[in-house]
Amino acid sequence: MDAWIGLMSGTSMDGIDAILVSFADQKVQIHATHSTPYPNDIRERLAGLSQNHGSPDELGELDHLVGNLFADTVLELLTKSDVAQDQIRAIGSHGQTIRHQPDGGTPFTLQIGDPTLIAERTGITTVADFRRRDMAAGGQGAPLVPAFHKAFFADSCEDRCILNLGGIANLSHLPADKSQSVTGFDTGPANALMDAWCKDQTGQGFDNNGAWASEGEVDQSLLSDLLSDAYFQRQPPKSTGTEKFNLEWVQTNLARHPNLNAADVQRTLLELTAITVAQQLPEQPRMTIFACGGGARNPVLMRELQRTCSPCKVTTTAAIGLDPQWVEPSAFAWLARQTLTGQPGNLPEVTGASGERILGAVYYS
C-alpha cells in the first residue's frame, strides 16, 4: 500500500489539518486525521504578517515556528495511525499562505512552514511550494484543487460543482460531458471577512454556527457597495486572498455606512458570500453543489446558499464520500503523489498557465 499525508492550513489561519490517506479506484481511503489549532499568539502574528506588518526577522521566525507545528501535527497523526511509516510515500504540505499576488508585473505567492523541518523531524519525504511553478508558467497558482476534484468527484451522470468555503471561496465546475473543460476559480470571500469582523467586534475567532449573523439583517445599501468591487465582475482565471478581502476592506466600505448594527454587518457579509457564489455559477440549473471547508459547517451560510443558488441543490461532499473538513488536505496528499509519480498537478484551463506542469519542490527524507 502507498499512503500519503496531506497538510493544509488555509486563509482562515485557524490551524493545521493533517490526513493520512491512500488512493485506489478513484476513491480516497482515510486512515487517520489530526488537527492542530494555532496558538493565539502565532495566529495573530501570521495575520499581522499577511497584512505587511512584519520584518524579515518576523518572516523567518514564523517560517520556522510554523514548520515545527506542521511537523508536530504529522507526528501526532502518526501516533493515531495503524499504517507503518515505511508505507508512507510522502507528505504534501500546502504551507501557510502569507501573500498571494498573482496579477501585475511581478506576480508572486508566498507560503511558509519550512518543509525541510517537516522532512527532517518526521523522516518522511516532503513536497511543498506547489503554487509557484504554475505561476512561472503564467498561471494564477490557484486554485489547484480542481484537478483533485476532477479526479475523484466528476460524474458522467450529472454536472457537479465543488464549492470550497474556506477563508476564500473557490469553485470547481465538473461537467458530466467529459468533452467539456473543467472550470475553477476563486469567487471571493467566504469565512475570511466574517471571521475578521467577528474577532474585531466580539473577540471570538469565528461566528459559531452563524449564530451571530442570524441575529442580524442584511443591509442592502452596504451589500450593494460590497458587490460593486471589481473583483466580482472579473472573468476567470482569477484568484484572491486576504491581502484584498480583509478587515480593512470591510471598514473602508463601512465608512460610508456609519452606525450600522454589528450583527447586521455580519449578516451582510454572509449574504455577500452567498450572492457572489451564486452570481458566478455556470448556468446549469440541474447541477448539484457539494460544499466543503469550514463554511460547510455553518448552517446559516448553507441555508442562504441553497436560496441564492436555487434551483441547484446544495449539499456537502459528505454525500459523495468525503467529509468536508478533509477535502483540501486530501487534495495536497494527492498533489504530492502527482509530483513524485511525475504527473502534472495543475489544470491550465483553470489557472491560465501555458500548459500542464509537475508542481512543487521535493525535500527527501
The answer to the question of whether 15 is labelled as a binding residue is: yes
- Give the count of alpha carbons within 13 A of 118, CB side only: 29
Phi, psi of 342 (to 5 degrees): 70, 30
The answer to the question of whether 14 is labelled as a binding residue is: yes
Q: Are 153 and 128 in contact (CB under 8 A)?
A: no
Buried b (16+ CB within 10 A) or exposed e, 14-30: bbbbbbbbbbeeeebee
Q: Each residue's pLDDT tens digit in the chain (365 positions)?
A: 899 999 999 888 889 999 999 998 889 999 999 999 999 999 999 999 999 999 999 999 999 999 999 999 999 999 999 898 999 999 999 999 999 999 999 999 999 999 999 999 999 999 999 999 999 999 999 999 999 999 999 999 999 999 999 999 999 999 999 999 999 999 999 999 999 999 999 999 999 999 999 999 999 999 999 999 999 999 999 999 999 999 999 999 999 999 999 999 999 999 999 999 999 999 877 899 999 999 999 999 999 999 999 999 999 999 999 999 999 999 999 999 999 999 999 999 999 999 999 999 999 99
The answer to the question of whether 205 is labelled as a binding residue is: no
User: Identical fold at 3-140+326-363 and 145-320?
Assistant: yes
Phi, psi of 165 (to 5 degrees): -110, 75
Q: Are 265 and 197 in contact (CB under 8 A)?
A: yes
How many residues does the structure list for the chain? 365
The answer to the question of whether 17 is labelled as a binding residue is: yes
* CATH number belonging to the domain at 145-320, selected among 1.10.287.1080, 3.30.70.580, 3.30.420.40, 3.40.50.300: 3.30.420.40
The answer to the question of whether 41 is labelled as a binding residue is: no
* Residue at 363: amino acid letter: Y
**CA 290, chain centre distance (Å):** 15
- Give the count of alpha carbons within 13 A of 271, CB side only: 20
- Give the count of alpha carbons within 13 A of 107, CB side only: 19
Q: Are 95 and 39 in contact (CB under 8 A)?
A: no
Indicate the domain borders of the chain. 3-140+326-363, 145-320
The answer to the question of whether 13 is labelled as a binding residue is: yes
Q: Are 151 and 327 in contact (CB under 8 A)?
A: no
* Residue at 210: amino acid letter: G
pTM over 0.85: yes
The answer to the question of whether 345 is labelled as a binding residue is: no
Nearest-angstrom CA–CA distance, 164 and 190: 9
Let me know the angle formed at the C-alpha of 326 by 152 and 308, rounded to the nearest 5 degrees.
Answer: 80
The answer to the question of whether 139 is labelled as a binding residue is: no
Q: Are 64 and 84 in contact (CB under 8 A)?
A: no
Q: E strand or H helix at 160, and its extent?
A: strand 160-165
Give the domain 3-140+326-363 fold.
Nucleotidyltransferase; domain 5 (3.30.420)
CA-wise closest residue to 160 among 292, 297, 346 = 292
